Structure 1
């Protein structure tokens, strides 16, 4: 599997991320592109999971604010941006939240 394929696959569901993570271990030499997008993809999944749980709780408590579920569209846009950056072999972070993940998830580097 190529570096570009691993980078793109890291954004396609959490199962795709796990497959990309396992395949990235087979890459020789270690690909900075794949590692970068694995970190960005995992960070995006974690943040979107937490935000979706919080939105569900808020909507359950105050049903009249159900329109905040449209925040999920923002994560879809970020996901598409990540796939495009991976396909273009660019290491650009996500707007606002991307820089938080660049130095996190040290287990991916190994």
Structure 2
């Protein structure tokens, strides 16, 4: 992938990690341009947001600050890792579940 494609998609890629609304905004903005770099990070960001919301519901039922804190820290690290990779122009999957997101949302951005 050339550097122009990466530079044009960086903003959308970073936005995709900012909550579910950011992922949807980046997805809509990328519909016209079809930027491959942005699409990769949109799939990662959307997957992280959906997983965070689904697991967060169940983690909240435990009523334990230790479990909740571990959950927040773990997902915080994953989101931060995604933003750093997007900002540095790398297409590297989020650890543990990134490959699953690429398969699950493979039709987004194409």
Name the TM-score, length of structure 2 as normaliser: 0.85
Q: CA deviation at 1:107?
A: 4.0
**1:101 paired residue number:** 101
What per-residue deviation string (whole Å, max 9, x for no partner) do you get for residues 34-76 of structure 1?
Answer: 11101000110111111211111122xxxxx331001211101
Q: Which runs of 4+ in 1 moved over 4 A?
A: none
Q: Paired residue for 1:9, among 8, 12, 15?
A: 15
What per-residue deviation string (whole Å, max 9, x for no partner) do you get for residues 57-96 of structure 1?
Answer: 122xxxxx33100121110111111001001111111111
**2:82 paired residue number:** 82
Structure 2's unaligned 5+ residue stretches are 1-6
Structure 1's unaligned 5+ residue stretches are 60-64
Name the TM-score, length of structure 1 as normaliser: 0.85
